[in-house]
Amino acid sequence: MNQNTIERIRKFTADRDWDQFHSPANLAKAISVEAAELLECFLWSDTEYDVLAVKEELADVLVYCRNLLDKLGLDEDEIVNAKMDRNEAKYPVEKAKGNSTKYDRL
Amino acid sequence: MNQNTIERIRKFTADRDWDQFHSPANLAKAISVEAAELLECFLWSDTEYDVLAVKEELADVLVYCRNLLDKLGLDEDEIVNAKMDRNEAKYPVEKAKGNSTKYDRL
Amino acid sequence: MNQNTIERIRKFTADRDWDQFHSPANLAKAISVEAAELLECFLWSDTEYDVLAVKEELADVLVYCRNLLDKLGLDEDEIVNAKMDRNEAKYPVEKAKGNSTKYDRL
Amino acid sequence: MNQNTIERIRKFTADRDWDQFHSPANLAKAISVEAAELLECFLWSDTEYDVLAVKEELADVLVYCRNLLDKLGLDEDEIVNAKMDRNEAKYPVEKAKGNSTKYDRL
């Protein structure tokens, strides 16, 4: 997400005085709710879906993720790279290649 | 997310030949599953939580969102700005300020 | 669920003094978290799944639903029948037969 | 849930020829989607919520749980009691009393 988009999201929240509702717990709820709306796009069919609806619901997830990053003062690249370090260790290429098995059963 | 992080995620998937599992529907499921793991950090208390766990689960959500953006060839800033256009229209400042009511009841 | 099972769930909670954690909001979070664990059984494949894991996760959902019914003093048959009244009205057989379209687009 | 309610749910599905959409994976998605709608009732406040909406969303979760039990030929009391056996072993009263810590950290 570029800096302009991030600032737009921050201004949206600030203009509405919504920071008071954005506790980390509430934002975690919001991310789950929006993730489920995204899932609903694929509810009865994996292959026939409304791309416009998918875009909107995915955008909602991303906006609330940005709110949570901001709320906790987290750097997106830092936390994602830290997690990728762990993912790379948990899923070595030679074991995980072509295999969707969860790491604890690999 | 900067370009290096994005490329790292892409390489992680490519090296493991996991694109075959990354249908849009499966990625939507994965986002919901990880969002719920994030929610679980706040399950019995809104205020006492393990920040390290929050970072990891939020990172998982963000990684799968990136996978879905890639899978569908979407631009993150484009879809987020399109949604912000709609949010700004649905939640005019004068009505929404300090108010968490959903737009259809505003 | 028969009365013995219901009483067993109640005793489990009472013996551990867990009613203090069972606010309606927390139970709603718990239901979402367990529903996602159920969903995880089908994460990368719709057809290959561990039935034992499905049973356990579905049971978890049902136990927390029972906790929420109890917490709010609700009768399961009453709320389900009230919802079925609405479902039958929203999805008339002649329109909905063989069709998974959501009611607002039927 | 009493037998009449169960039969009503079965008839609802059969009359609409919806069994074709009710794969276990799809029902797991549906349970997650409805659980998130229940969660949404508590999104910005834990204490101010619309009881009618809670009833409807909880009923939706219960109906899809019943669909999944039927689809997999499971007995609700059997799977719940099997899970309660495990819960009682994982959360011994003397350790878990008044304590919401997850079993793997008890």
Residue A41 pLDDT level (bands cut at 50, 70, 90) = very high
Q: Which residues of A touch C36 (CB under 8 A)?
A: 32
Q: How confident is the model at residue D101 (pLDDT cuts 50, 70, 90)?
A: confident
Closest CA in chain D for residue B30 = D29
Is D97:C78 a contact under the CB 8 Å cutoff? no
What single-letter DSSP state applies at residue B42? Answer: T
A39 CB neighbour count, 10 Å cutoff: 26
Question: What's the mean per-residue pLDDT of chain C?
Answer: 96
Contacting residues of A for D42, CB less than 8 Å apart? 29
Q: Does the beta carbon of C68 lie under 8 angstroms from any beta carbon of chain D?
A: yes
Q: With contacts defined as CB-CB under 8 Å, which chain A residues touch B96? A: 16, 18
The residue of C13, C18, C20, C33 whose CB has the most chain B CBs within 10 angstroms, and thus the best one to mutate to test that interface, is: C33
Task: Give the pLDDT band of residue B78 (cuts 50, 70, 90).
Answer: very high
CA dihedral of D38, D5, C105, D52, whole degrees rounded to 10: -40
Residue C37's closest CA among B103, A31, B29, B19? B29
Mutate to test the interface with A, among B2, B21, B39 (most CBs of A within 10 A): B39
Chain B interface includes C28 (CB < 8 A): no
The partner residue sitting opposite A16, judged by closest CB among B54, B76, B96, is B96
Q: Which residue intervals of A1-92 are DSSP H helices? A: 3-16, 24-40, 51-72, 76-90
Q: Taking CB atoms and an 8 Å limit, are D43 and A36 in contact across chains?
A: no
Closest CB to A44 among C43, C44, C100: C100
Q: What is the pLDDT of residue B103?
A: 82
Angle between helices C51-72 and C24-40 (to 10 degrees): 170
* Pairwise CB contact (< 8 Å): A39 & D26: no
Chain D positions in Cβ-Cβ contact with residue C12 (cut-off 8 Å) = 84, 87-88
CB atoms within 10 A of CB C90: 13
Please report which confidence band the pLDDT of residue A34 belongs to, taking 50, 70 and 90 as the band edges. Answer: very high
Cα(C36)–Cα(D36) distance, rounded to whole angstroms? 10
For the cut 90, the answer to whether the pLDDT of residue C49 exceeds it is: yes
Determine how many CB atoms are found less than 10 A away from the CB of residue B11: 12
d(CA C104, CA A92): 47
Give the C-alpha separation, A1 to A66, whole Å. 9
Using DSSP's 3-state secondary structure scheme, residue C17 falls into coil
Alpha carbon distance B14, D15 (integer Å) = 46
The CA-based dihedral angle spanning residues B10, B12, B16, B17, taken in that order and rounded to the nearest 10 degrees: 0
Confidence of residue A39 (pLDDT cuts 50, 70, 90): very high
State mean pLDDT over C91-97: 93
Query: Has residue A15 got a pLDDT over 90?
Result: yes
The per-residue pLDDT for range C60-70, each reduced to its tens digit, is 999 999 999 99
Q: Which comes out higher in pLDDT, residue C98 or D69?
A: D69
Q: What percent of chain C has pLDDT over 90?
A: 92
pTM over 0.95: yes
B86-105 pLDDT, tens digit each: 999 999 999 999 888 888 88
